[in-house]
Amino acid sequence: MLLRLIVVYALFLGFMAALLFWPAGTFDWPGAWVFLAWSGIAGMAISLWLLRYDPGLLHERLRLPIQKAQVAGDKIFMTAVQLAWCGWVVLMALDAKRWHLTQLPTWLSGVGAALIALGFAIVWLAFRVNSYAAPVVKIQRERGQRIVTAGPYRIVRHPMYAGAGLYLIGMPLLLGSGYGLAIMPLLLAGLSTRIALEERTLSAEFPDYVEYAARVRFRLIPYVW
């Protein structure tokens, strides 16, 4: 599995580098290099941790984004979000480097890098307690899936999405794209839509999820939503 992990990350980083540098028309983009470094180092570190402590979850995380057991609505969502993600990254490259349409204060790049790091940290905390955190919405009966209420799940019902939200906010700040920042709320709205789909799926399969949702009231942000 280690070889597969290395290949997957190499392909991902190569694809992301193409999405960033080709439309930017230059490699002179420190924010993009920092983003790729953060994504590669943090992502690989978490994956190596999973390889040692939870290989079953790592296997799920390395699977394709469209799967047989996946909820039908999530297949549509994952297809749309992959296309939207690619378009968003290309737009930020055009905005920040090729066309220079917007200019964010330099200090916001540091804020963006910190938010991305914090997002990775929250996702890792979720992985530590939730072995069923597959990248798609499905019920993992073969793995004995149950409702997880420990760790960050005691604070919000979807800590992984909270971490992903910080990552999404941090990206345009680090890359220096005002248009990317303006479009980011649409991506967060997409996350909210998927949360609703996931909660309907879990509530239908696990009666104790309704009790858990009543006890942990907030989905992403404590005392807000």
Q: What percent of the chain has pLDDT over 90?
A: 84
Residue entry with tokens 């330099």: 106
Q: How do the domains of the chain map onto residue ranges?
A: 2-215
CATH number of 2-215: 1.20.120.1630
Residues 146, 130: Cα–Cα separation, whole Å: 9
Task: Report the candidate in 12, 182, 164 with the shortest Cα–Cα distance to residue 96.
Answer: 182
Q: Dump pLDDT digits (tens) for 29-51.
A: 999 999 999 999 999 999 999 99
Count CB-CB contacts under 10 A for residue 159.
24
In which band, very low, low, confident or very high, does the pLDDT at 188 lie, cut at 50, 70 and 90? confident
- Average pLDDT rounded to a whole number, residues 12-27: 97
Residues 127, 57: Cα–Cα separation, whole Å: 8
19 or 67, which is more confident: 19
Q: Dump pLDDT digits (tens) for 138-148.
A: 999 899 899 99
Count CB-CB contacts under 10 A for residue 208.
12
Q: Return the DSSP state at 151.
A: G
Count CB-CB contacts under 10 A for residue 212.
16
Residue 123's pLDDT is what? 97
